[in-house]
Amino acid sequence: MQPVMRHLVWSVLLPAAVGSMAAAGVCLWWVPGGEKVPEPIKNTSLYKAVHRPPVPVSSPLVLPPAATSVGSAPAGAAHEAPPLREALNLPSFAPLVHQVIPAVVNISISHASSSSDDEDDDSDAASQPSTREQRHSVPATPRKKRHLRHHGAGKVRRMLHPADDELTGAGSGFVVDASGIIVTNRHVIGQATRIMVSLSDGRSLPAHSLGDDPMTDIAVIKVDSPTPLPCVSWGDSRQVEIGDWILVAGNPFGFGSSVTAGIVSAVGRDLGSGALDDFMQLDAPINPGNSGGPAFNLQGQVVAMNAAIASPSDGSVGIGFGIPSEIVAPVVESIRKTGHVEHGWLGVTLNDASFPMWVEDVDPHGAAWQGGLRKKDAILAIGNVPVHDARTVLRSVAAAHPGTVFNFTIRREGKVITLPVALGKRPTAAF
């Protein structure tokens, strides 16, 4: 009996057991995903050994677009970029650029050659901020190099350049009226004998000057176009805050219209070049050729005009300066109406080294003397506004028209009195 049982085990039972296990293994391996495998089998160690869970892999942050041949892009592919941009929270200035760039123009000039133009005139270097009202901001004729030198504790030399391109004679401007009124910097056109304006539609038109203002470095020119031109509107620079987005447009290095973006780094910068210094500092790259171009807020309004860059070389290091629209817009309007701008003038020298500030000197032929201001008078307020520094007083005076009456509250020999002073016309020599 024993030989029979041994024969039965080896010939029948053992092959059947091995075949069953092999069949189960094959089933567990080939059933896709185990969808049809009963739960009891899924929980066995054999099933788990065969079907190990995949190793988790993070998806890429941005999937690169698949390469497609021209004309074979799938339908709707053009609409994939905005959702992706929104998902990544990236701003796009494209709609703003389409709105404003048609009103930005490129300006090129030519003028009679002069040996003095090619010299580096260091006498044009401006001084540190002064309380003297006679300080002026822009030379009567264009210079090849204009800069401020500051020697601090580390003797680091920083230079302030006008943002026009002296090599190509190129600058920028923007249309503020559909009739062809264009705003730019005075130092862009200088004493040019020929001004050409390149429009966004490819046309080049000759322009003529309507007038300029040496004190603010603002000029207005006009082109004659048979059709109305795209134009932009003024924004309120007083509403601009540090950290706001800014879009700068212009003609850097004569390459043609281009834009850069950044933020407002600071406001109220005094560069020591004149009584109306109140520059907006921008970190959007500004380069030679950007002078006279606009700086826009996100509503497409002009809140500043590019004027200068701070750089040890001729290129941008991320520090640029614009003239706020609250200064530019009234000057442009005055030039359009009269061809020039008249600024108020007192004829005083103020000392604000101590509080309150006091009158250090008075021009005997100036408006201040005629209004009753004298040496050693302490200035307490103008109208109902207390004043603490000379810059505030001189900016207010320079921004006003001649004949405007300022009520000065002063202290003289211990007595507080109010003097109505009618501003005079700023002398030409004071520019």
Q: Is the pLDDT of residue 57 over 60?
A: no
Closest residue by Cα to residue 135 from 340, 272, 308: 272
Closest residue by Cα to residue 170 from 284, 93, 256: 256
Q: What number is the average pLDDT over the span 45-55?
A: 55
Do 366 and 348 meet the contact criterion of CB atoms below 8 Å apart? yes
Mark whether 217 is an active-site residue.
Answer: yes
Count of helices and strands (H, E) across the chain = 10, 23
Q: Which residue has the tokens 């790259």?
A: 285
3-state secondary structure of 304: strand
Mark whether 291 is an active-site residue.
Answer: yes
Do 366 and 416 meet the contact criterion of CB atoms below 8 Å apart? no
Give residue 177's pLDDT band: very low, low, confident or very high (50, 70, 90). Answer: very high
Which residue out of 137, 257, 291, 325 is catalytically annotated?
Answer: 291
Distance CA 356, CA 238 (A): 27
Reported as type and span, the H/E element at residue 370 is helix 367-371
Of residues 139 and 291, more confidently modeled: 291
Q: Which residue has the tokens 């133009």?
A: 117
pTM flag (> 0.85): no
Q: What number is the average pLDDT over the span 2-30?
A: 59
Which residue out of 217, 277, 278, 352 is catalytically annotated?
Answer: 217
Residue 75 tokens, joined: 């339908």
The model's pLDDT over 61-81, given as tens digits with 9 standing for 90+, comes to 343 444 444 444 444 444 455
Q: Residue type for 176, please?
A: V
Which residue out of 108, 187, 273, 363 is catalytically annotated?
Answer: 187
Do 281 and 323 meet the contact criterion of CB atoms below 8 Å apart? no
Do 187 and 142 meet the contact criterion of CB atoms below 8 Å apart? yes
Domains of the chain: 91-341 (2.40.10.120), 344-430 (2.30.42.10)
Distance CA 314, CA 308 (A): 11
3-state secondary structure of 428: helix
Q: What share of the chain is helix, strand, coil (3-state, %, to 5)?
A: 25, 30, 45
- Strand pairing category for 258-269 and 279-282: antiparallel
Question: What is the per-residue pLDDT for 127?
Answer: 31
Mark whether 117 is an active-site residue.
Answer: no
Q: How far is CA 159 from CA 90, 140, 312, 315, in A?
A: 34, 21, 5, 11
Mean pLDDT of the chain: 75
Residue 373, judged by CB atoms within 10 A of its CB (0-12, 13-18, 19+), counts as buried
Residue 35 tokens, joined: 């969808």
Q: Is the pLDDT of residue 113 over 90?
A: no
